Amino acid sequence: MTFPGLCAWVINIIKFYEVYCDVEPKRQALYQANAELAAAQEKLSVIKRKVSVSVLCLIASAFVKKKKKLRGLSPRANYTDRASAFVFCNKQIHWALQ
């Protein structure tokens, strides 16, 4: 290896080290940010599950109220009233599960 080649190699190693020193703290910050993101996403999924359960409970109670109301209708009641109540509850359940 000649002297100019050795000098170029040393210069390149120094440049690499400078870039490494600049990038390494950013890499560590990225790892920390990803860990915080994972923890936040886990908390969010727990909250989403609780909300979906609450929404389903509300829908179930609305369904029970509608069902009690339908029972109060006379046997000759309009079938569209019964069908509209059933469709309403099914749509609410479908939206809650999305």
For the residues 44-70, what does the mean pLDDT come to? 77
Angle at 36 between CA 31 and CA 26, to 5 degrees: 30
Look at the chain and report how many structural domains it folds into. Answer: 1
For the residues 13-21, what does the mean pLDDT come to? 95
Instruction: Please state, in angstroms and rounded to a whole number, the distance separating the CA atoms of residues 71 and 69.
Output: 5
pLDDT band at 33 (very low <50, low <70, confident <90, very high): very high
Tokens of 26: 């950013």
pLDDT score, position 32: 97
Q: Mean of the per-residue pLDDT values for the chain?
A: 79
pLDDT band at 49 (very low <50, low <70, confident <90, very high): confident
